Amino acid sequence: MLEKGWNPRLPYDTLKKDLVDIHPTASSFKIMLDKARHHANRCMQDSFKYAKERWDKSHKPPDSKMRDLVLVSTLHFNNIKGPKKLKDSFAGPFMIKALHGPSAVQFELACELMNKNPTFPVSLMKPYSSSDKELFSLRNKPPLEIPPLEEG
């Protein structure tokens, strides 16, 4: 009789049926792996649920409409000259030209930013609020002084 497997030249019925068993430690190891996988899946589902609840609690969809004035973050602008430390954190105001779903907006960009793609994610914009004369009555703009041109 064949004890360690099946030789294809022998008939199938010469194999002992009671010797083809899984070792007890292998079966307990499989049970342990199944429990670990089930626990990991449950932990991941709980973390996804928790993250969604936190996101839904703090997130509000942008309420921008066409033709609104907004400021755009200069985080990824590499074409603005000067030291990064002294750059303005937002550029604009720009008018919204088109809405591309809930997460992207297309702007009408000014002349120095014409080389950039005018579509930006909503996360890089914030609404523009112009200064109010009644709220800031003491704020005055200094007169613009144009230096004289030297001819020569």
Residue 30 located in a structural domain: yes
Beta-sheet strands, E only, within 100-149 = 104-108, 119-121, 125-127
Q: How far apart are CA 31 and CA 11, in angstroms?
A: 34
Residue 138 inside a domain? The answer is: no
Place of tokens 């809930």: 102
Please check whether residue 98 is in contact with residue 105, taking contact to mean a CB–CB distance below 8 angstroms: yes
Number of domain units in the chain: 2
Question: Quick one: tokens of 50?
Answer: 């928790």
- Residue pair 141/100 in contact by the 8 Å Cβ criterion: no
Angle (CA) 129-132-136 rounded to 5° is 125
Token pair 């200069």 is found at 74
Structural domain range at position 118: 69-127
Q: What is the pLDDT of residue 21?
A: 61
Query: What was the pLDDT predicted at 149?
Result: 73
pLDDT confidence of residue 97 = 92
Amino acid symbol at 87: K
Distance CA 147, CA 92 (A): 26
pLDDT for position 88: 83
Does 118 map to a domain? yes
Q: Is 3 among the domain residues?
A: no
Q: What is the pLDDT of residue 4?
A: 60
DSSP one-letter code for 24: H
Pair (76, 120) in one structural domain? yes
pLDDT of residue 14: 58
Q: What is the pLDDT of residue 46?
A: 97
* φ, ψ of residue 93 in degrees (nearest 5): -80, 150
pTM of the model: 0.53
Would 121 be classed as within a structural domain?
Answer: yes
Q: Residue 107, exposed/middle/buried by CB under 10 A (0-12, 13-18, 19+)? A: buried
For every one of its 152 residues, what pLDDT tens digit does the chain have, with 9 covering 90 and above?
Answer: 445 665 667 665 655 555 556 677 878 888 999 999 999 999 999 999 999 999 899 888 778 888 888 998 888 877 667 787 888 888 888 899 999 988 899 988 877 777 888 899 988 888 888 777 777 777 777 787 877 777 75
